[in-house]
Amino acid sequence: MCLVTVPGQTVTVSTFRTLHEPLEARRVVLGRSTHVDRILPHRTHRMIGAWCFLDHFGPDDVTSDGGMWVPPHPHAYLQTVTWLFEGQGLHTDSLGNRQLIRPGQLNVMTAGPGICHAEVTPEGAPDVLHGVQLWVALPDTVRNTVPPDFAHLADLPRRTGGGAEVTTFIGRLGGAVSPAPRFSLLVGAEIRLAPGAELALPLRTDFEHGLLIAAGNARVNGADGTPRAVTYLEPGTDHLTLANPDPEAPAVLLLIGGQPFEEEIVMWWNFVARSHEEIVELATRWNESDVPARFGQVEGFDGPRLLAPPLPTVRLKSRGRRA
Ligand code: MN
């Protein structure tokens, strides 16, 4: 046992759990020129809690190519979570929302059975864009009944102390609770560490967690972290200790976690379904009409919407959280 501190409180922690190999990202090209690091779904760890998708983009200088340009596209049976470390984004959706997002703020869109949105870098945005796009799978019990919704949260619980800053954007962490809508037990937080800073946080032992090193470097529960990769922490891990070993550069980290998601899902294009037939239905409904009833329309977008690609020639299979 040892005593460690979180900003504003003291917690007692006990055993250290084995750390798995880091989950490395794979480079993916989106659209014409945007490169992202895709971490989830990972070959061995398809999900962490209900988190089923994690793209890490930037830091990129967006002055030459204009930055993010994602035309209207649909989603179903998931929540999209947008979190920026640097830069700005502009969200528009079929519910009529038009929302600028800045670092430290959360955009969370609940698709339910269908919604569509567009995300672009707005005119006049800062030169550098750096952030993450995540998806949360909706449980089967609510995915068809929860109404489509968009929430922007600019006032999130943030604790600072000892060179550490923790912003809890969804769920509960170390006593901080985010008001963001969620439909399973999960957590998401940004952690910033000044050079040399250390931090410890209590974790729920019924959760699995992943810690992304988005910028700089960190030691995670006593082991060297891998920049731009995710350190996986299995259920039973009761705490997280972090240290920024760099004497000059800050560390920017993303913590995600949740109760292991035991339902099998089919992820294809922008949908999280349960069967091949559901995917076919979703793609067909989106492609067949300029204003598909199920997904609606983003008004006023300057350009065509994205159509679903041809379906694979083999049947899509539902899969569990582990390979
Ligand atoms: Mn999207």
- pLDDT in the model for residue 33: 67
Query: What pLDDT shows up at residue 14?
Result: 42
Spell out the residues 6+ positions from residue 73 whose beta carbon is closer than 8 angstroms to its own. 116, 117, 118, 270, 305, 306
Give the distance (Å) from ligand 1 centre to CA of residue 26.
19
State the distance from the centre of ligand 1 to the C-alpha of 70, rounded, in angstroms. Answer: 8
Cα of 240 vs centre of ligand 1, distance in Å, is 31
**Confidence (pLDDT) at 21:** 80
74 alpha carbon to ligand 1 midpoint, in Å? 7
CA of 155 to the centre of ligand 1 (A): 23
Going from the Cα of 71 to the center of ligand 1, the distance in angstroms, rounded, reads: 9
CA-nearest of 29, 132, 146, 131 to 76 is 146
Distance 288 CA to ligand 1 centre (A): 19
- Per-residue confidence of the chain (323 residues) as pLDDT tens digits? 333 445 545 444 444 455 668 999 999 988 666 789 999 999 999 999 999 999 999 999 999 888 999 999 999 999 999 999 999 999 999 999 999 999 999 999 999 999 999 999 999 999 999 999 999 999 999 999 999 999 999 999 999 999 999 999 999 999 999 999 999 999 999 999 999 999 999 999 999 999 999 999 999 999 999 999 999 999 999 999 999 999 999 999 999 999 999 999 999 999 999 999 999 999 999 999 988 999 999 999 999 999 999 999 999 999 999 88
Structure tokens at 169: 């954007």
Give distance in angstroms: CA of 117 to centre of ligand 1: 6
Give how far Cα 35 sits from Cα of 25, 59, 172, Å.
12, 11, 32
For the chain, the straight-line distance linking the first and the last C-alpha, in angstroms and rounded, comes to 34
Distance 224 CA to ligand 1 centre (A): 33
How remote is the CA of residue 118 from the centroid of ligand 1, in Å? 7
What per-residue confidence (pLDDT) applies to 140?
98
Is pTM, for the whole model, over 0.85? yes
Distance 169 CA to ligand 1 centre (A): 19
**CA 79 – ligand 1 centroid, Å:** 9
Ligand 1 centroid to Cα of residue 39, in Å, is 16
What pLDDT was estimated at residue 35? 86
Q: How far is 228 from 231, CA to CA, in rounded Å? A: 10
Q: What is the pLDDT of residue 19?
A: 65
Please tell me the distance between residue 135's alpha carbon and the centre of ligand 1 in angstroms: 9
Read off the pLDDT of residues 80-111 as tens digits, 9 standing for 90 and up: 999 999 999 999 999 999 999 999 999 999 99
* Helix or strand run (H / E) with residue 133: strand 128-137
Q: How far is the CA of 266 from the centre of ligand 1 (A)?
A: 17
Q: How far is the CA of 75 from the centre of ligand 1 (A)?
A: 7
CA distance 97 to 274: 28
Q: Which two tokens stand for residue 284?
A: 């067909």
Rounded distance from Cα 150 to ligand 1 centre (Å)? 12
134 CA distance to ligand 1 centroid (A)?
9
If DSSP codes are grouped into helix, strand and coil, which group holds residue 281?
helix
**How much distance in Å is there from the Cα of 199 to the middle of ligand 1?**
33
Task: Report the pLDDT value the prediction gives residue 18, as an integer from 0 to 100.
Answer: 52
